[in-house]
Amino acid sequence: MFALGSFLLAGLVCQSLGQYEYEDEYYMPYAPMEGASTPNCAQECECPPSFPTAMYCNERNLKFIPIVPTGIKYLYLQNNFIEEIKAGVFDNVTDLRWLVLDNNNITSEKIQAGTIDKLGSLEKLLFSHNKLTKPPSLLTKSLDELKLVANQLSSFPASTLSGMENLTSLHLSKNKLTTESITGAFKGLKSLVLLDVSENKLKKLPSGVPASLLMLYADNNDIDSIPGGYLTKLPLLQYLRVSHNKLVDSGIPAGVFNVSSLLELDLAFNKLKTIPEINESLEHLYLQANEISKFDLTNICKFSSPVNYSRLRTLRLDGNNVTHRSMPDDTANCLRQASEIIFE
Ligand SMILES: *[C@@H]1O[C@H](CO)[C@@H](O)[C@H](O)[C@H]1NC(C)=O
Ligand SMILES: *[C@@H]1O[C@H](CO)[C@@H](O)[C@H](O)[C@H]1NC(C)=O
Ligand SMILES: *[C@@H]1O[C@H](CO)[C@@H](O)[C@H](O)[C@H]1NC(C)=O
Ligand SMILES: *[C@@H]1O[C@H](CO)[C@@H](O)[C@H](O)[C@H]1NC(C)=O
Ligand SMILES: *[C@@H]1O[C@H](CO)[C@@H](O)[C@H](O)[C@H]1NC(C)=O
Ligand SMILES: *[C@@H]1O[C@H](CO)[C@@H](O)[C@H](O)[C@H]1NC(C)=O
Ligand SMILES: *[C@@H]1O[C@H](CO)[C@@H](O)[C@H](O)[C@H]1NC(C)=O
């Protein structure tokens, strides 16, 4: 198959938001040579002859989806003013693989039956920054990436993603999802690696998440506790972000972070009064802007001895009531890899 990479320049916009950089993937328009397009291409769009299965209709002030000719598998419609997906638009391309609709004005009511729900081979559906109140109904089981960031989703029926054994990344941040509205939504997604439910209205971490997850982002919600044993069901999880929530000490059961897979744990901007117990394999612990007033080394260095030490490299404690002087004398031995311990 033709190397997609040369046409799809996945740019990375790095916004510095807190301690890590959010990578906002976007799809750059491919600029073919002047006038070059295959004969059947919609006149508003471009279909490079060297990549005839792609149609680029992005940034064209479109109000409607143009006629999509037979043979197109990659369809780019982002950054337009589309409000509606009319019946029949995809009739000749039911084997569409990628559909990019980011940055339009589409509402759930205006997605007609017989459109997205007819696409049985869809692998990527990028539908961020629209006005959806519920996820589009999908026929495909072959989806590998679904992005519905910054819509107005308040419901997410449990059946939406059923049978999608190849779904690896699911972005649902910046919506209005509640704990109840996502109940059962992630069951059976046995390839899911990334789940982003940040900036919603969750009171709890999502339940029934697949054991395949490496990254779980749930920052900026209303979560006050982490259930005991939650992480033992996620044996591969490396990144857990629960910053900007309402976590309190009583919501952190003993040993809940005692798992050796975790590399990054972000608990910043919560209401914790003590440093939670962690495993020595954790590398980055973010606790800034909590209510910690004691540097309790025992929770970080349970095992400390000349040969046993913490792998912690970053420890942020700024915005708490602790200073360098709060650090016990034996800190250096245990935290010998910590190049960044930040107090203020
Ligand atoms: C589908 O293709 C047929 C034959 O080329 C054409 O007549 C029809 O208008 C097309 N439909 C759409 C919705 O593009
Ligand atoms: C969406 O619609 C609103 C008005 O309803 C308008 O202000 C806005 O510019 C539109 N945005 C896009 C991307 O079409
Ligand atoms: C998942 O991917 C595998 C390997 O590419 C493929 O054989 C299988 O059909 C896919 N499953 C679905 C439901 O599309
Ligand atoms: C952490 O878990 C390991 C293995 O699961 C166990 O051996 C160890 O005692 C636990 N540590 C604490 C402090 O509970
Ligand atoms: C960290 O996890 C490993 C592997 O499960 C375990 O052997 C070790 O005891 C844990 N450390 C602590 C401090 O519980
Ligand atoms: C290192 O710590 C583990 C517990 O995490 C303990 O079982 C082991 O005996 C310690 N090893 C040494 C040499 O202190
Ligand atoms: C901050 O810590 C100091 C000394 O450890 C203590 O006297 C003070 O009450 C603490 N302040 C708050 C707001 O917890």
Residue 92 alpha carbon to ligand 1 centre in Å: 6
pLDDT computed for residue 335 by the predictor = 86
Name the residue with the closest Cα to ligand 6, atom 13: 307
User: CB of 105 closer than 6 A to ligand 2?
Assistant: yes
User: CB of 307 closer than 6 A to ligand 6?
Assistant: yes
| Residue from 122, 139, 142 to probe ligand 3 pocket by mutation (most atoms less than 8 Å from CB) | 142
**Are 102 and 128 in contact, with CB atoms under 8 Å apart?**
yes
User: CB of 323 closer than 6 A to ligand 7?
Assistant: no
Residue finishing a domain among 125, 152, 179: 152
Name the residue with the closest Cα to ligand 5, atom 12: 279
Residue among 66, 57, 78 at smallest CA distance from 130: 78
Q: What's the token pair of residue 192? A: 């899911």
pLDDT computed for residue 4 by the predictor = 37
User: CB of 70 closer than 6 A to ligand 7?
Assistant: no
Residues 96 and 237 in one domain: no
Residues 146 and 293 in one domain: no
In whole angstroms, give the CA distance from residue 109 to residue 212.
34
Residue 286 alpha carbon to ligand 6 centre in Å: 25
- Residue 319's Cα: distance from chain center in Å? 27
Residues 145 and 240 in one domain: no
In a domain, 196, yes or no: no
Neighbours of 267 (CB within 10 A): 26
Residues 147 and 55 in one domain: yes
> What CATH number should be reported for the domain holding residue 274?
3.80.10.10
Domain limits at 62? Answer: 1-152
pLDDT computed for residue 172 by the predictor = 98
- Cβ neighbours of residue 171 closer than 8 Å, sequence gap 6 or more: 128, 146, 147, 148, 149, 194, 196
Residue finishing a domain among 121, 152, 183: 152
Residue type at 123? E
Number of domains, the chain: 2
Residues 146 and 229 in one domain: no
Strands 74-76 and 54-56: parallel
pLDDT averaged per 10 residues in sequence order, the chain, 344 residues: 34 37 48 67 93 94 95 97 96 96 98 96 98 96 97 97 97 98 95 98 97 98 97 98 98 96 98 94 96 86 75 93 81 82 81
- Cβ neighbours of residue 65 closer than 8 Å, sequence gap 6 or more: 57, 77, 82, 85, 86, 89
Model confidence, pTM: 0.89
In a domain, 84, yes or no: yes
| Residue from 303, 307, 311 to probe ligand 6 pocket by mutation (most atoms less than 8 Å from CB) | 303
Cα R_g (the chain), whole angstroms:
23
pLDDT computed for residue 316 by the predictor = 94
